[in-house]
Amino acid sequence: MPENPPKLSENLEDYLETISSLSADTGAARPSDIAAAMNVKRPSVTAALNSLREKGLVEYEKYRPVTLTQDGEAVAKNVRRKHELLSDFFTNVLGVNASEADLAACRMEHALEDSIMKKLVKFLKGRGAGMCSGCPNRSPGCESSCPHAVALSDLSKGERAVVLSIDRKLGNLGTYAGMGLAIGSTVSVLRVAPLGDPVIISVHGSEISMRKSQLKNIMVKRI
């Protein structure tokens, strides 16, 4: 990122992100392709490109393909990184479906300050690092195939575990995430009814009553 990046509207950030995507293979993007990708008229594209050129973010001449300057590419990458970070957070931590997560990320990526993004990155790295620290089988993405994974329904009273994955069959993922039950959360079994149902679990200070059939949709690793 440039030291003092120009303040851009959401619309202009979208233009930079689109130009970056379209020029990934050839290094440049045609104004007609930009218009088609963003579903806007050519005059709107021309006005936006002139504005971005004045800010030093694109190289643009009438009737010629558009290229991003070094600063323009840095801004585009920053916006794209925010989008990916938010989308991953919504899907992998909160359990939001991919299409809803992508739409929400599009809306929020422009409002997310860099200082907040850095804290969110640190938070997510902390969750991942603490999830399986010391495990000899640890590797990127290993949560989905962890050899130590068991269903939360298999835990006994007093056992603690970290959540590795939550099947969408559980339903109400957003509600449970609001109570702290999400990937990376530490859960403990507080009580089990005499007949095995329901099971009371604790997560982030909240007590949640769930059926064993529900807990089978949550894979955890004992800690």
The ranges assigned to domains in the chain are: 1-127, 143-222
Q: What is the pLDDT of residue 53?
A: 95
Query: What pLDDT was estimated at residue 129?
Result: 46
At residue 204, what are phi and psi to the nearest 5 degrees?
50, 40
Q: Are 135 and 148 in contact (CB under 8 A)?
A: yes
Cis peptide before 198 (omega within 30 of 0): yes
pLDDT tens, N- to C-terminus, the chain (223 residues): 555 666 788 889 989 989 998 988 788 899 999 999 999 999 999 999 999 999 999 999 988 999 999 999 998 888 888 887 787 777 666 767 777 888 888 888 777 777 887 777 666 655 554 455 555 555 555 656 677 788 888 888 888 888 888 888 887 777 777 777 888 788 889 888 888 788 998 887 778 898 888 888 888 888 7
pLDDT of residue 197: 83
Q: Look up the CATH number of domain 1-127.
A: 1.10.10.10
How many helices (H) and strands (E) the chain has is answered by 8, 8
Q: From CA 203, how far away is CA 161, in angstroms rounded?
A: 10
Alpha carbons within 13 A on the beta-carbon side of 176: 27
Q: Are 79 and 110 in contact, with CB atoms under 8 Å apart?
A: yes
What does residue 169 show for φ and ψ, rounded to 5 degrees?
-60, -20
Is the distance from CB of 57 to CB of 6 less than 8 angstroms? yes
pLDDT of 60 reads 93
The helix or strand, by DSSP H or E, that contains position 8, with its residue range, turns out to be none
CATH classification number, 143-222, choose in 2.60.40.10, 3.40.50.800, 3.40.50.300, 2.30.30.90: 2.30.30.90
